[in-house]
Amino acid sequence: MLAVLLFATGCASSPERMAIAPAATTEAAGLVDIRSLVPDIDLDIRYAGEHNFVGRPVDGYEAPRCLLLVPAAQALARAEHALRAEGMRLRIFDCYRPARAVRHFVAWAHDPGDQRTKPEFYPNLDKGKLLGGYISPTSGHSRGATIDLTLMQCGGDGACSPLDMGTPFDFFDPLANTDSPEATPEQRANRNRLRNAMRQAGFRNYPMEWWHYTLDPEPAPKVFYDVPVR
């Protein structure tokens, strides 16, 4: 469901030890902006604004940019270009995530008094149940090769609209599972279209979240970064 890798927008299982890299800049971490490869890729970087489950800009997001390690950025560019040939495009919600952002998620989850985003992001769960299964102390996004995104269909006039995936991004609920039996046939077909496109570019899906993909194999599976997104 939502991977903070173990958070909700990343593979939740057993906790893993974090080795924070000493890199002080995105360049030192080997992170590149996806728009250096695809200048007009569609970005909706949620954690840089207020439209997210925390309800405010998240620590470490000082600009709405999609940063990734070079191999992941190159693979994402391949996926985007292949989809454009089919009249579709990607919309990116999150890429590299600083470790401090994950700490912000955990602190938010420990605050039962802040329920402002419950109707949109976790309507069927008590906030206290988000820790563990959905929100955990480390995130695969902090390794620089994981992406949250959706698929858009484009018309002849160039206008693109997101396909119906059955839930919003970052929805804490089993309905967000990629193969959820509660999704409609159309929604499951749309999720499969996204999964197939990303698989062909070298990404694997996290089955608990239809929007969550990681380059396979990961370039640096044991290294986490805490450089702010600027």
Write out the catalytic residue numbers: 209
Distance of CA 169 to the CA centre of its chain: 8
Residue whose C-alpha is closest to residue 106's, from 58, 65, 46 = 58
Q: From CA 157, how far away is CA 151, in angstroms rounded?
A: 18
Cβ-contact 147, 96 below 8 angstroms: no
Residues 6+ apart with CB under 8 A from 86: none
Distance of CA 26 to the CA centre of its chain: 19
Strands 3-4 and 42-43: what pairing? unpaired
Q: From CA 26, how far away is CA 11, in angstroms rounded?
A: 24
Q: From CA 111, how far away is CA 193, in angstroms rounded?
A: 38
CA distances, 172 to each of 26, 152, 155 (Å): 30, 22, 31
Residue whose C-alpha is closest to residue 2's, from 121, 153, 155 = 121
Residue whose C-alpha is closest to residue 64's, from 79, 82, 49 = 49
